[in-house]
Amino acid sequence: MSAALIRHPAMKAWPIFPSDQLPLALWDAAAIAEATGGAASGEFQVSGVETDSRDVRNGDLFVALKGEAMDGHRFLDAAFANGASAALVDRPVAYPHILVTDTTAALHALAAAARNRGEATVVGVTGSVGKTGVKEAIFAALERSSRGQAHRSIRSYNNHVGVPLSLARMPARSRFGVFEMGMNHAGEIATLTQHVRPHVAVVTTIAPAHIENLGSEEAIADAKAEIFAGLAPGGVAVIPADSPHFERLRAHADQAGATIVSFGRARHATMRLLDAIPSANGGSLVTCEYPDGRMCFTVAEPGEHWIANALAVMAAVLACGGDLAAAGLALAEMGGLKGRGARHQVAAPGGRALLIDESYNANPASMRATLAQLGATPAVRRVAVLGAMKELGDFGPAFHAQLAEPLVAAEIDHAILVGAEMIPLARELGKGAGLPLGFSGSFTHCDSAADAIGALEDFAIVAGDAILVKGSNSIGLGRVVEHLTRREG
């Protein structure tokens, strides 16, 4: 390039931003050593961070975590065979590495360094139902408006390992970061939110998930509201206006000094639903209003629960100064996630059947929502393969038996109930016409996912059927989905 061209006024006027000085690599050896207080074996750069040697990709930093029963150092050879560039270790090794005293503490330190560098607006998401879908939708909205400069936790990386790992993976040039936080017991989100320190904290909804450990919905609301304690100064709390626990959540947010943005049908909602009608693609056409006006957008995901999720997404985007128009486009294009609403057309005698994959998780609220969605789905026959809902404790038998009502309302033709916890529901359905609304369908109770596959084969799916597969992940109904999707094409 000639000197004359370098001196061209247009080149001299090219804008320079502080972010231009940030590194292109995710981490280099010096930055990792500085963040963790460790010693580097030499110079290297990494493009990712991973704690499971089986998931390591070319260029990753492998963090050799130690637990009570497992030591990641045993998998160093496998990690480097899969392409790791370096490792975070607590003992000298023959591979490129950073030597630290405690690899878990070092991962937390690396997460803190990632959170502190750059100027990303950070969004934290929790809730009893819908947090992964809402997290993904917020990310899709912000990634679109930032032209690829958004980051998020993948899958359900929402625990004491997944959250710091997701933070450690955030590039310095990110403009937005979206992180999911989950819990089974009180106090867990309080710890996670101190890692994330969100500028915007979203609670999707409060429902009796993990009630076995917490005892009441009020206690669940208190546990979810722990997310507000980690809010950055001037932070925003996004909460469901229609929840019976709205005032409880608002009190926690007020105590944290947060600005409150609410969403829902209630007249006091900041992001308020005005109207929702079915759209041509099976989703919904939503009209809502907010302080600056009104907007209309399409939600590709079907179901009443996704209307509420979409409002939560819009409220979060509004709270972090994102582009609402881009958010609307992202919601219109979103497809279902594996185990959380993904839809498949599977081969069946005479043509194809619809499979709705909700096999990853289940609680009373999500069961009702997805059964209602199945009931609204046009089909020759509607089939529900339902696995037990876990962590309900003494409330379990009643919550399972109460699923008879949404099964009847959805006009289910056949139900396959999986797991011992489903016995109360089987007894309720066995009453048939004795139910308040009457159950005219058939049902089968079985012990395992393998038995459910056999029961489904005995029922004989045909073209035009719609099959919902939903249960707690430990029931293993993903095997039913895998069995059916072998027919996909």
Do 296 and 347 reside in the same domain of the chain?
Answer: no
Which positions ≥6 away from 97 have C-beta within 8 Å? 40, 41, 86, 87, 88, 89
The reply to whether 12 falls in a domain is: no
Do 200 and 329 reside in the same domain of the chain?
Answer: yes
Beta strands in 45-188 (DSSP E): 45-46, 48-50, 60-63, 86-89, 97-99, 121-126, 150-152, 176-180
* Order of all β-strands in the sheet with 442-446: 342-348, 351-358, 466-470, 382-387, 414-418, 442-446
Burial 272-284 (b: 16+ CB within 10 A, else e): bbeebeeeeeebb
Do 55 and 150 reside in the same domain of the chain?
Answer: no
Final residue before a domain boundary, out of 333, 365, 393: 333
Per-residue confidence (pLDDT) for residue 2, from 0 to 100: 43
Do 138 and 175 reside in the same domain of the chain?
Answer: yes
Per-residue confidence (pLDDT) for residue 6, from 0 to 100: 44
Task: State pTM to two decimals.
Answer: 0.84
The reply to whether 14 falls in a domain is: no
Do 105 and 122 reside in the same domain of the chain?
Answer: no
Final residue before a domain boundary, out of 80, 109, 138: 109
How would you classify residue 257: left for phi > 0, otherwise alpha for psi between -120 and 50, otherwise beta? Answer: left
Q: Could you tell me the residue range of the domain that residue 216 belongs to?
A: 118-333
The reply to whether 17 falls in a domain is: no
Phi first, then psi: give them for residue 476, nearest 5 degrees: 80, 30
Strand partners, 414: 383, 442
**CATH code, domain with 205:** 3.40.1190.10
Phi first, then psi: give them for residue 344, nearest 5 degrees: -130, 145
For 163, the token pair is 């959250």
**CATH code, domain with 62:** 3.40.1390.10
CA distances from 11 to 3, 6, 124, 300 (A): 12, 7, 40, 44
Do 329 and 346 reside in the same domain of the chain?
Answer: no
The reply to whether 10 falls in a domain is: no
Do 466 and 385 reside in the same domain of the chain?
Answer: yes
For 283, the token pair is 């989703």
The reply to whether 74 falls in a domain is: yes
Final residue before a domain boundary, out of 298, 333, 368: 333
For 277, the token pair is 């009608």
How would you write the pLDDT of the chain (489 residues) with one tens digit per residue? Answer: 444 444 555 544 545 555 555 567 899 999 999 999 999 999 999 999 999 999 999 999 999 999 888 899 999 999 999 999 999 999 999 999 999 999 999 999 999 999 999 899 999 999 998 899 999 999 999 999 999 999 999 877 899 999 999 999 999 999 999 999 999 889 999 999 999 999 999 999 998 877 877 889 999 999 999 999 999 999 999 999 999 999 999 999 999 999 999 999 999 999 999 999 988 778 999 999 999 999 999 999 988 899 999 999 999 999 999 999 999 999 999 887 788 888 899 999 999 999 999 998 888 988 998 999 899 899 999 999 999 999 898 999 999 999 999 999 999 999 999 999 999 999 999 886 555 556 788 999 999 999 999 999 999 999 999 999 999 989 999 999 999 998 654
Structural domain count of the chain: 3
CA distances from 470 to 302, 335, 361 (A): 16, 18, 7
Per-residue confidence (pLDDT) for residue 1, from 0 to 100: 43
Do 235 and 273 reside in the same domain of the chain?
Answer: yes
The reply to whether 432 falls in a domain is: yes
- Cβ-contact 333, 473 below 8 angstroms: no
Bridging pattern class, strands 293-299 and 284-290 = antiparallel
Which helix (DSSP H) or strand (DSSP E) does residue 356 occupy? strand 351-358
Do 87 and 128 reside in the same domain of the chain?
Answer: no
Do 285 and 137 reside in the same domain of the chain?
Answer: yes
The reply to whether 387 falls in a domain is: yes
Do 238 and 328 reside in the same domain of the chain?
Answer: yes
Do 350 and 318 reside in the same domain of the chain?
Answer: no
The reply to whether 349 falls in a domain is: yes
